[in-house]
Chains A and B, each alone.
Chain A
Amino acid sequence: MGRFVFKLPDVGEGTAEAELVGWHVKVGDMVGEDQIVADVMTDKATVEITSPVGGRVTALHGEPGQMLAVRGPLVEFEVEGAGNASADEPAPAPTPAAKAETAPAPAAKPEPAAAPAAAASGANYVFKLPDVGEGTAEAELVGWHVKAGDTVAEDQILADVMTDKATVEITSPVSGVVVATHGEAGQQVPVGGPLVSFKVEGKGNVSEAAPVPAAAPSAPAPKAETAPAPAAKAAPAKAAAKPVAEAFTTRAAGQRPLASPAVRNRARDLGIELQFVPGSGPAGRIEHGDLDAYVASGGRGSSVDGSSGSTYAKAEGTTEVRIIGLRRKIAEKMAESVRRIPHITYVEEIDVTALEELRAHLNAEAKKTGKPKLNVLPFIARAIVVALRDQPQINATYDDEAGVLTQYAPVHLGIAAQTPNGLMVPVVRHAEARDPWDTAEEIARVSGAAKAGTAKREELSGSTITITSLGTLGGVVHTPIINHPEVAIVGPNKIQERVVVKDGQMVVRKMMNLSSSFDHRIVDGHDAAVFVQRIKGLLEHPATLWMG
């Protein structure tokens, strides 16, 4: 026996630490090689960490939510042989397995089937409770339709069972004489457990020849599955040609449903697990018509139980998503800002026709001058810089606990940017010292870095006022949340041609709304209006942006 210390491997993105999201093992567990021991989160993805060794877990380092250092100890094992505990070398880094979306499958584990069910003498066919299609491990027996001694035809109803969601009629897969019924009304019957023993013509299934549902139906991932047709007969199924789809299928667990690729794809599109669709073709092959019948019978998804002919699948189930990593930081930051700051949001419309003409001209020149093309942001940035000269209290951060407002001479402009992982605010430093082209390049550079995940810390902090632009997506107005501890945020909306009244005439102008929020503790409504009106004046007369 040896001690093996497994250190958190490099999770592959040059990160020095990762957030522990959850454990898959606990102290005392026997763990196999490659078994998942923990989930960790880097800035970019959740990664499953697999064990490099097989052994018994003797210690776990860290709690969910905690930051772990890469190459710091993660799990200690007791292993066969020497282990690595005395050695200094880093644990053999197993490539982390990972899957953002895999939830640890809380597989419904059916109890082992009770006594091997040939119980009653003379029986040669044991019918086991089939998977009733909800990932349920057991179902309540509601009542019997047959008793011992009855002669039963194939497809005759044997019993009613109830799952969490529906009462299901269980029909006989064979013709024969009932030798014994297993269980009484009100009792829970495990899926895969014996339900009825028959004496049938011919060989039966007790001599293990035929594929009988194994004791444990390989519980398919519990994807809130379909209630099978609540009492098939209640639903006047559209596909009248077939006997209304039985409420369940007697397909053996683990047996792949027979279906052509086209049927498989269509089922996937409908959100139907073929495992639960009765097949009418040879060997239980599922045809397109079977899918139709399944949907029509309410097997999955008719919008009102069985009553409408809708073919859209009904969505069920919930997905829990851990809010961790960057998403959690965003959540905290937003809540903090709204909690602390009484926002005042002020919206004004700005006629940017002249500005757009200037911009079009500059961009047309860009080919000759080799300068980058400009969008509207550098102009707004400039307008903010100019407007702040008169209102330095808006270019500030407010420490409300200390009661200090820090006003900044330089303008470090935060640019709210959507990245694959969520909202980030890279910073264009010294916006006051940049011409429009330089501003454009810097905005592109820092937001590109943020999106690519290569932004440095100083490129993501230190802003004194922020621009948040949803302009490309459209939208008339928004209520931006201030990037705490700043005191103002400016949000341009989409530029659109609108009819405005000018000198008594209706004319078409390029109009842009500007939605801005201010910290009302620092900025009075009047000041906010003055600031925005100043920006409006500058943008409507773009030459003034660079006058003085």
Chain B
Amino acid sequence: MSGNQMADVLNTKVLIIGAGTGGYVAGIRCGQLGLETILVDASDGLGGTCLNVGCIPSKAVIHAANKFETVAKAANGGTLGITASKPSVDLKQTVEWKNGIVRKLNAGVAGLLKKAKVKVIKGWATFSDAKTCTVKTDDGEITISAEHVILATGSEPVELPFLPFGGDVISSTEALSLDKVPSKLVVVGGGYIGLELGIAFRKLGAEVTVVEMAERILPLYDKALTDPVTKWLEKHGVKLLLGAKAGGFEKGRLNVTTRDGEAVKLDADKVLVTVGRRPRTQGWGLETMGVAMAGPFVKIDDRCATSMKNVWAIGDLTGEPMLAHKGSAQGEVVAEILAGHDRRFDPVTIAAVCFTEPEIVSAGLGPNDVEGRDDVIQAVFPLMAIGRALAIEAGDDGGFVRVIASKTDHRLLGVQAVGQHVSELSNSFAQMLEMGAVLEDVAGVIHVHPTLGEAFHEASLRALGHAIHI
């Protein structure tokens, strides 16, 4: 056709909206399976929240903060026999280093998509019906019509109406690109994002206050798991205002109503608002697509199918847990279904990790889920009794591994841990749960010495009544 009089219509088998960990993984898998695929994303770098302003950059900043803390300890009377002179941090350089990592990963994702022959279109997509969208690109508008649509638009930080983002009121996104360490940082919201960043900035030298409405930090985890984090915060002078409500921010001071109803004003150079994330359902024509919702999320079944034929949804858009690895697993499932396989998204567990100090891992059922049941065994093994933990200064902050299993057949129901570096144990927990292991299976796996993973082995032995090192 003689192209240029009217907007081109691109027809494709699969159209994916959003290049986050859900969307780009779905794209690569579609490509591997030989499905003609177009991926649309409006951001500058492929990879979505996780890669650009979430998981990866926050881990980089946390890593830098840990390095700084170690040197600071060495300067402040020495640590492990090491002394150093007082360190300083140029956060601009730290952020530039972090940006370098992000750029590398952006390019990596782009390369993988290219290799999978996925056509990537940069621009904002707006749907006019369930199978058709118009993308505003730098080169004009493109209309795309697809046989299958995979929605992977992700989520965005929730804004408080009385504390809108802007100026010194920032979201996690801006917190990862500050040009200097704020001397006074107030974190509104004591969930995992706020605490991960609050702790990192504390290590970098900021005075940090956490304002949380609930009576505890990390209210989604059981108290035993979060106690070591609370202890760290207290020991390192992070002020915790629990049961407290943040108000407006004026002239460098944040209004807070404390648990007792007292109005106080907190000095703050920056106010970091981390009160949760919400699915990105606005501004791209979701309402024209005729898909059913489940609360704020798009409703899906165990194939990630929405209520509209051949429209699929994955990742944060579809509900809790809002985790990158859930989105990518769903993306693979959908791609395989589109290629004609019978697949279901039916994991036994999606393990979750908090990169706080110390770290928290939870997989499967927790104590709150089995409360009142007398058919389960719970056993805890402290990291204090693990040699490796002591050797890497991870033994004295109250860390432990806990297993929960069925009393009758010993099937593993859940595993949690808190402690330094325990995030790396998460996959071991998930594997055992997903493979349908019983306590005897964990007990029968020879765990390498000296590692933190031995605590999982010992906790399982303890549940069977014969732990060795306690």
A96 within 8 A of B: yes
Contact between B434 and A441, CB atoms less than 8 A apart: no
Alpha-carbon distance A177/B219, docked complex (angstroms): 50
B130 within 8 A of A: yes
Contact between B410 and A283, CB atoms less than 8 A apart: yes
Give the nearest-CB partner of B347 in chain A. A261
Contact between B342 and A97, CB atoms less than 8 A apart: no
Using a CB-CB cutoff of 8 Å, which residues 247-284 of chain A contact chain B?
256, 258-261, 264-265, 268-269, 281-284
Alpha-carbon distance A443/B2, docked complex (angstroms): 14
- State how many angstroms separate the Cβ of A422 from the closest Cβ of chain B: 13
Residues of B within 8 A of A259 (CB): 436
Alpha-carbon distance A13/B289, docked complex (angstroms): 7
A269-B342 contact in complex given A282-B440, A283-B411, C-beta closer than 8 Å: yes
Alpha-carbon distance A258/B411, docked complex (angstroms): 8
A152 within 8 A of B: no
Using a CB-CB cutoff of 8 Å, which residues 48-75 of chain B contact chain A?
none
B393 within 8 A of A: no
A12-B441 contact in complex given A269-B342, A372-B2, C-beta closer than 8 Å: no
- State how many angstroms separate the Cβ of A377 from the closest Cβ of chain B: 14
- State how many angstroms separate the Cβ of A116 from the closest Cβ of chain B: 19
Contact between A47 and B132, CB atoms less than 8 A apart: no
- State how many angstroms separate the Cβ of A82 from the closest Cβ of chain B: 24
Provide the main secondary structure of the chain A interface.
loop
Residues of A within 8 A of B129 (CB): 12-14, 453
- State how many angstroms separate the Cβ of A154 from the closest Cβ of chain B: 15
Alpha-carbon distance A546/B8, docked complex (angstroms): 32
Contact between A372 and B409, CB atoms less than 8 A apart: no
Residues of A within 8 A of B436 (CB): 258-260, 281, 283, 285-286
By CB atoms of chain B within 10 A, which of A286, A371, A453 has the most?
Answer: A453
A473 within 8 A of B: no
Contact between A97 and B292, CB atoms less than 8 A apart: yes
Using a CB-CB cutoff of 8 Å, which residues 193-233 of chain A contact chain B?
209-211
Give the nearest-CB partner of B305 in chain A. A99
A371-B2 contact in complex given A209-B375, A282-B409, C-beta closer than 8 Å: yes
Using a CB-CB cutoff of 8 Å, which residues 325-363 of chain B contact chain A?
341-344, 346, 348
Residues of A within 8 A of B107 (CB): none
A529 within 8 A of B: no
Contact between A285 and B438, CB atoms less than 8 A apart: yes
A98-B434 contact in complex given A14-B129, A47-B290, A282-B409, C-beta closer than 8 Å: no
A11 within 8 A of B: yes
Provide the main secondary structure of the chain B interface.
loop
B470 within 8 A of A: no
Give the nearest-CB partner of B290 in chain A. A12
Alpha-carbon distance A230/B440, docked complex (angstroms): 35
A50 within 8 A of B: yes
Give the nearest-CB partner of B409 in chain A. A283
- State how many angstroms separate the Cβ of B410 from the closest Cβ of chain A: 6
Give the nearest-CB partner of B289 in chain A. A12
A99-B307 contact in complex given A12-B288, A283-B409, A448-B9, C-beta closer than 8 Å: yes
Residues of A within 8 A of B391 (CB): none
Q: 1/0 contact trace for A436-459 toward B, CB 8 Å? A: 000001001000100011000000
A48 within 8 A of B: yes
Residues of A within 8 A of B411 (CB): 258, 282-283, 285
Alpha-carbon distance A176/B38, docked complex (angstroms): 64
A44-B130 contact in complex given A98-B307, A268-B344, C-beta closer than 8 Å: yes
Using a CB-CB cutoff of 8 Å, which residues 426-447 of chain B contact chain A?
434-436, 438, 440-441
Which of A44, A210, A420 is in CB contact (< 8 Å) with B375? A210
Using a CB-CB cutoff of 8 Å, which residues 252-290 of chain B contact chain A?
287-290
Residues of B within 8 A of A175 (CB): none
Residues of B within 8 A of A96 (CB): 290, 292, 307
B106 within 8 A of A: no
Which of B145, B344, B408 is in CB contact (< 8 Å) with A452? B145
Residues of B within 8 A of A47 (CB): 290, 307-308
Contact between A45 and B434, CB atoms less than 8 A apart: no
Residues of B within 8 A of A48 (CB): 292, 307
Contact between B308 and A444, CB atoms less than 8 A apart: no
Residues of A within 8 A of B168 (CB): none
Residues of A within 8 A of B289 (CB): 12
Residues of B within 8 A of A260 (CB): 434-436
Residues of A within 8 A of B1 (CB): 372, 441, 444
Alpha-carbon distance A260/B305, docked complex (angstroms): 24
B126 within 8 A of A: no
Give the nearest-CB partner of A256 in chain B. B348
Which of A95, A269, A283, A441 is in CB contact (< 8 Å) with B438? A283
Residues of A within 8 A of B438 (CB): 282-283, 285
Residues of A within 8 A of B305 (CB): 99
By CB atoms of chain A within 10 A, which of B131, B307, B408 has the most?
Answer: B307
Which of A98, A371, A452 is in CB contact (< 8 Å) with B9? A452
- State how many angstroms separate the Cβ of A45 from the closest Cβ of chain B: 4
Alpha-carbon distance A283/B410, docked complex (angstroms): 7
Give the nearest-CB partner of A9 in chain B. B290
Give the nearest-CB partner of A285 in chain B. B436
B203 within 8 A of A: no
- State how many angstroms separate the Cβ of B364 from the closest Cβ of chain A: 12
A98-B130 contact in complex given A268-B342, A268-B344, A282-B409, C-beta closer than 8 Å: no
Residues of B within 8 A of A261 (CB): 434-435
B390 within 8 A of A: no
B424 within 8 A of A: no
- State how many angstroms separate the Cβ of A36 from the closest Cβ of chain B: 10
A100 within 8 A of B: yes
Residues of A within 8 A of B291 (CB): 12, 95, 98
B12 within 8 A of A: no
A104 within 8 A of B: no
Q: 1/0 contact trace for A18-47 toward B, CB 8 Å? A: 000000000000000000000000001111
B402 within 8 A of A: no
Contact between A211 and B408, CB atoms less than 8 A apart: yes
Alpha-carbon distance A282/B442, docked complex (angstroms): 12
A100-B309 contact in complex given A261-B434, A268-B342, C-beta closer than 8 Å: yes
Residues of B within 8 A of A441 (CB): 1-2
A370 within 8 A of B: yes
Alpha-carbon distance A13/B147, docked complex (angstroms): 15
- State how many angstroms separate the Cβ of B415 from the closest Cβ of chain A: 16
B33 within 8 A of A: no
Contact between A283 and B435, CB atoms less than 8 A apart: no
Give the nearest-CB partner of B405 in chain A. A283
Q: 1/0 contact trace for B135-171 toward A, CB 8 Å? A: 0000000000101000000000000000000000000
Alpha-carbon distance A371/B3, docked complex (angstroms): 10
Contact between B342 and A45, CB atoms less than 8 A apart: no
By CB atoms of chain B within 10 A, which of A44, A50, A284, A371 has the most?
Answer: A44
Residues of A within 8 A of B288 (CB): 12-13
Contact between B293 and A95, CB atoms less than 8 A apart: yes
A283-B406 contact in complex given A14-B129, A99-B305, C-beta closer than 8 Å: yes
Alpha-carbon distance A285/B441, docked complex (angstroms): 12
- State how many angstroms separate the Cβ of B38 from the closest Cβ of chain A: 15
Give the nearest-CB partner of B147 in chain A. A420
Alpha-carbon distance A282/B305, docked complex (angstroms): 34
Contact between B292 and A95, CB atoms less than 8 A apart: yes
By CB atoms of chain B within 10 A, which of A10, A260, A283 has the most?
Answer: A283
Using a CB-CB cutoff of 8 Å, which residues 1-50 of chain B contact chain A?
1-2, 9, 11
Contact between A97 and B307, CB atoms less than 8 A apart: yes
B179 within 8 A of A: no
Return 18 A-B CB contacts under 8 Å, by A number. Answer: A11-B290, A12-B287, A45-B290, A95-B307, A96-B290, A96-B292, A98-B291, A98-B292, A260-B436, A268-B344, A282-B441, A284-B409, A285-B411, A444-B1, A448-B11, A452-B132, A452-B145, A453-B129
Q: A45-B290, A95-B291, A100-B309 are in contact. List 4 more A-B contacts (CB 8 A).
A: A95-B307, A268-B342, A268-B344, A444-B1
Nearest first, the 6 A-B pairs at minimum CB distance are: A12-B290, A97-B292, A98-B307, A283-B409, A258-B436, A45-B309
